[in-house]
Structure 1
Amino acid sequence: MSSNNKKFRSNTDLVLYFLKGNKRFFFLSIIFSILVTFFDLINPKIIQYTVDFCIDDAESDSVPVYLKGIMDALGGREFLREHLYYIAVVVAIVALLTATFRYIFRLCNAQGAEKLIQRMRNKLFEHIMHLPFTWHGENHTGDIIQRCTSDVDTIKMFISEQMLSLFRIVIRIAVAMYFMVGISIPMSIVSGAFIPIIVIYSGFFHNRIRTEFERADTEEGRLSATAQENLTGVRVVRAFGREKYEKDRFVKQNAEYTQLWINLMRTLAAFWSSNDLISGLQVMLITVLGAVFCVQDSITVGEYIAFVSYNAMLVWPVRALGRIISEMSKAGVSIDRIAYIMNSETEEDKENALKPSLKQDITFEHVSYAYENGGADVLKDVSFTIKAGTTFGILGGTGSGKSTLMYLMDRLYDLKEGCGRILVGNTDITDIKASWLRSNIGFVLQEPFLFSRTLSENIGITQKKTDFAEIRAAARIAALDETIEDFSKGYETYVGERGVTLSGGQKQRTAIAQMLVSKPPIMVFDDSLSAVDTQTDARIRHALSENTTDSTVVLISHRIMTLMHADNIIVLDHGRIAEQGTHEQLLAQGGIYKKIYDIQMQGT
């Protein structure tokens, strides 16, 4: 089982865990992002000093030493006045460097983002695969899929776009404000005053956006679950003519989901439009104020041009800063939803878990079990022994606990403290490595699940490498070989999702063959012959008895014909063992078994 049961105390811990192995890409992205920001801010300075120093007659003292040195190296003021294209070449070089650094930044960022999402998907899938069977019963498949797709994409966008943008924005604002203060302190104060205003009102919208996005995200999970259930259960929907009902239900749920997004978009529209209004007001004030200062000779024409350029460069970052704060609300919700999965406890074996032989007696000692929903006990003080190498039958009505017994034996459900124990030989199954236990117990369910693959691939899916002869031999025991031969593509016939292209009996027989390929020492047939006719049932049981002599076979069925040749049979009634014995002994008792036998035999 999974050795990773790490608890993430905060969202930051979870994000850093997902970033493991990819941090270098984002580190390089930050470095080249800083270079892009720096070179973006150089050109306005070059234009400023070109206008003031080369075109106009500003004092050379106003030119920084490093820039004056470059100009002197190019030939001095008079030479540059006659050869302004030199400056144009410098501007072009700076622009080319900026474009190069931006390309490298985007390349590193894209690689980091894709590596991040790859690791997130892998870790989520691995973690989900090791979560308890009960966890899967409590969480809708559609909602889990939505968390692993939409929420993963939201987190990727936050880390690769918004978080890096936040870093770039802070750097850009700091450097631009430094240059702006060097030009005009009053204008810098006016420009900078808008930044805290935007941050404050963004914080005001933050919680509201988060709440509305969380509702929309949760509803999307429900909508995905509805769609997934209808797509996988399309035959049932069609068979009962429920298309209109299911369509109306989906339309209603979709309308609720759409309305939640409309509400969210209204909030975002109010946020973004007010953001744009404040940013536009800032640009207008700086343009007017700069023109006044320029006329009053408080600043030069070059300084005015440079300041307006820097302020224009701040407009997008300042607007984006507010938007990023709002997007952080969405990312926070998505991280919480992913954290719910990653913080769910996976199955863990005991230290030094055992791998004993399972060709031993299986003993249930005073087993009681109730589901987590707080209902009554499904099993009540159940005790019996399944002798190794024998065939054991379990009969009982719906809800009597037949399947639960086998789920407990396979550790799909865990017995609580003081609710009995299950032994293989003298070893408690809780001391056995779960993967070892399950690999040695073959399970065939009443409703088998087949994958969207060929029949051959489905039958051999339990083994890493399976010879076709073994696949065919297993199919022959399951009375499936002749049926497959009638298919145009034989064993290469493609099985649709969940085996939709096969009949119920064909699916059950495919599942039986699938289990037989692995040759487990314990075989459980949970009403897995219910969809086949009595003649085929008899053929399969006869073939099983001849080919599984070394295995312990557990037959769960409502059909006495399936159980009557078992070495021992128990009859469950409301979670308790009402009767136990061979077929003949149970008939002689004249109890529940005898009554069911008489009813079923009347129709033969």
Structure 2
Amino acid sequence: MKESDYKIIRRMAEGYIKFFLISAAATVIRVAAGFAVPQVIRFAVDHVIDDLPLNYSKHIISVVDAMGGMDFLKENLWIFALLILILALITGVSDYTGRLTLAKGTEGTIKTLRDKLFEHIQKLPYSWHIKNQTGDIIQRSTSDVEVVRNFISTQSVEMFRVIILVIISLTLMFSMNFQLTLAVLIFIPVVLLYSTIFYGILAKKFLVADEAEGQLFTTIQENLTGVRVVRAFGRERHEIEKFSERNNTFSDLWVKLGYQLGYYWGIGDLVTGVLLMVIVAYGSYYTVNKVITLGEFLAFASYAAMIGWPLRSFGRILSELSKAKVSLKRICEIIKEPVEVDSPGSVTPDIFKDIEFRNVSFKYEGDNWVLKNVSFKIKAGSTFAILGGTGSGKTTLMYLLNRLYDLPDNMGTITIGGVDIKSIKRNHLRRNIGMVLQEPFLFSRTIKENIAIANPDTPMDEIREAASTARVDDAIDEFSKGYDTLVGERGVTLSGGQKQRVAIARMLLQKTPVMV
């Protein structure tokens, strides 16, 4: 059974939970300190300025008496200013602590997610890479991860803060006046209702927009990868038009999303404005009729203003949640893909043995048969050539030998020294079969690093020997930096023949018992 998306992200957060808990505790302290300020003002207005009798708990009354009573407080109003300053200091310290620990927890979690995602992609079958577009994989590994990071670092703590704000504010409001608090409560279901409706709409639209961004990434990646082909065949105009078409589609989707977000924010502003209007109207009426004190009205108005923005921003939080949910789903789709796993009891035999294909048949998914009952045997230490027309399956034979594609059951067998390659560990098999692909890929590193890619600690004389055997040593020496010449992406600084020979030198340096 596959893990849920949320279990996956929770697994990535293991080891950083303590930072999130500290951040949550700091957020509670920050919110509590912020809510304490209106209570200080209420106390000063009602009991110091208006001289109303104290109706607080015995503990608070004893503290007032210990300070010298109400007369002392009337003569030293600076105490209230100092108390507000202390609360502001607590708010600042807790805010700093919360943000610092949240940053540590978030960045640690996202780093783990990036590492696990990249590691997982490395272990996925070659067939998976063929079926999925490179641009889309890059987009999921970068943009989607960034969306999740932004939500954890910003919107998640904001969501938690809104919940704490609502709970504390309603508790304090109920303690001051039940009827006025009910007026506030009426608006919360309204906000939740239209937020839920828009959440469902936005989630679908964000998914479509995210997929369109993946197609845009793919278009850019393919164009940059095949830039020489584009230039050679004069396809610049076609590529520009193709990019413009997909860019317009992507842009239009976000414009439509902007309309939806505009509606959401507009409704949020309206609800917030009506809420404040109700508080001011009813609060003024109750204050004039002595139902509540002036201090309580000021505290009520402060709390209404404090929860007004969070209620209005709840839409933004939900829209970001929609984006994060879509991005997390796209990331986890990769993580849930099954990786290459060696069968139980896999062995690591000597590969310098006879290779035999026996009644091998193979076809790619949804395609015609590429190989049909192919059988041959290659003696150890011999040279064997396979000739055939385009599409006759020569490259497929190489992929099957190296297990880039696994031979389906009942489609023949491939053995090395009598051992079925399905029972040989993939890493052992691939390390002992050197390959030069039809389109050799060179990394953006020096020529020396490209040749010694499988063993970076190889002595320079061995690297030169391999290059000499591949007949590319003299060409490399002609470069001003020789073997330290930096090769551009896909080796664009080298000719096609030079790239091929560097790839041959790389294969020769592996000194594998099987060379293809």
Same fold (TM over 0.5): yes
Match runs of 1:168-567 below 5 Å: 168-372=161-365, 374-524=366-516
Where does residue 14 of structure 2 map in the other structure? 20
Deviation at 1:90? Answer: 1.1
Which amino acid in structure 1 is aligned with residue 124 of structure 2? Answer: L
Would the aligned equivalents of 1:361 and 1:385 in 2 still touch at CA under 8 Å?
yes
Deviation at 1:293? Answer: 0.9
Where does residue 100 of structure 1 map in the other structure? 93
Of the two, which has the highest radius of gyration? 1
Matches of 1:468 and 1:73, distance apart in 2: 84
Superposed CA offset, 1:279-315 (max 9, x none): 1110111112111111111111111111111111111
Superposed CA offset, 1:42-79 (max 9, x none): 1111111111111111112x233343333333322111
Matches of 1:70 and 1:357, distance apart in 2: 85
Matches of 1:23 and 1:165, distance apart in 2: 18
Of 82, 97, 112, the residue aligned with 2:105 is: 112
Show structure 2 runs of 5+ residues with no match: none
Would the aligned equivalents of 1:202 and 1:323 in 2 still touch at CA under 8 Å?
no
Of 118, 126, 144, the residue aligned with 1:133 is: 126
Structure 1 window deviating more from structure 2 (232-241 vs 314-323): it is 314-323
Matches of 2:308 and 2:87, distance apart in 1: 22
Would the aligned equivalents of 1:49 and 1:63 in 2 still touch at CA under 8 Å?
no
Matches of 2:472 and 2:456, distance apart in 1: 22
Which amino acid in structure 2 is aligned with residue 11 of structure 1? Answer: D
Which amino acid in structure 2 is aligned with residue 414 of structure 1? Answer: D
Match runs of 1:72-83 below 5 Å: 72-83=65-76
Show structure 1 runs of 5+ residues with no match: 1-6, 525-604
Deviation at 1:430? Answer: 0.5
Percent identity among equivalent residues? Answer: 47
Matches of 1:490 and 1:346, distance apart in 2: 40
Would the aligned equivalents of 1:8 and 1:339 in 2 still touch at CA under 8 Å?
no
Deviation at 1:351? Answer: 1.4
Where does residue 150 of structure 2 map in the other structure? 157
Matches of 1:322 and 1:100, distance apart in 2: 28
Which amino acid in structure 1 is aligned with residue 43 of structure 2? Answer: Y
Superposed CA offset, 1:437-464 (max 9, x none): 0000111012101011111111111114
Which amino acid in structure 2 is aligned with residue 76 of structure 1? Answer: G
Of 36, 54, 76, the residue aligned with 2:30 is: 36
- Other structure's SS at 2:200 match: helix
Of 40, 57, 67, the residue aligned with 1:46 is: 40
Superposed CA offset, 1:457-507 (max 9, x none): 111111142111111111111111100111011111110011111110010
Superposed CA offset, 1:247-297 (max 9, x none): 111011100110011111111111111111111110111112111111111
- Other structure's SS at 1:115 match: helix
Deviation at 1:416? Answer: 0.7
Matches of 1:68 and 1:320, distance apart in 2: 39
TM-score w.r.t. structure 1 length? 0.84
Superposed CA offset, 1:304-339 (max 9, x none): 111111111111221233332232222221121112
User: Residue 69 in 1 paired to residue 56 in 2?
Assistant: no
Of 161, 166, 171, the residue aligned with 2:159 is: 166
Matches of 2:271 and 2:261, distance apart in 1: 15
Where does residue 59 of structure 1 map in the other structure? 53
Matches of 2:216 and 2:59, distance apart in 1: 62
Deviation at 1:17? Answer: 1.7
Deviation at 1:357? Answer: 0.5
Where does residue 561 of structure 1 map in the other structure? none
